[in-house]
Amino acid sequence: MEAAIDALSRELVKLRTGRASAGMLDHIMVEHYGVKTPLNRMAVVSVLDPKTLSVTPYDPNALKELEKAIISSPLGLNPKADNQRLITPIPPLTKEHMQAVCKVVAKSSEDVKQSIRRARQKALDSIKKAAPKRRTKINQIDDLTKKFIKTAEDMCKAKEKGIRGG
């Protein structure tokens, strides 16, 4: 259940909210010397201000590949080369993009809830086979399941609030 919450947290960081976040570029793959590599292994991504990211490559020769990968990503970003780094302004979200991102958040929320419920079912199955004091264990698992589902819902609501700018 904790793994599902961790996965949700990583997934939500990747979504563009109109505010700069260093993690929003983590999933971008860069082709460098014929090998696809995650951007975060090729460069340091830092937040300059709430609307701007700085991408500083470890290898200055990779600047063009990084720029190409960011432009071709579905985030709709347009970085500009500035000496040995890329300055990436984060444009404000359009209403359509906000709605699309909110749908992704809702789907992520449902996926995590299903994952938590599967973990609950596995735990219940193993208890039914082994435990003599089943009722208290089942109640503990149910309480844990409710807690994790509430955490997932709260994370998603907070993300949607951030996306809508409220």
In CATH, what number is assigned to the domain containing residue 56?
3.30.1360.40
Question: Does 42 share its domain with 75?
Answer: yes
Question: Does 81 share its domain with 110?
Answer: no
Question: Does 83 share its domain with 119?
Answer: no
Domain that holds residue 53: 19-89
**Segment 60-84, tens digit of pLDDT:** 888 999 999 988 887 778 899 988 8
Is 9 domain-assigned?
no
Q: What is the CA radius of gyration of the chain?
A: 20
pLDDT of 21: 76
Q: 62, 89, 116 — which closes off a domain?
A: 89
Q: How many CB atoms lie within 10 A of CB 43?
A: 23
When divided into structural domains, the chain yields a total of: 2
Mean predicted lDDT score pLDDT of the chain: 82
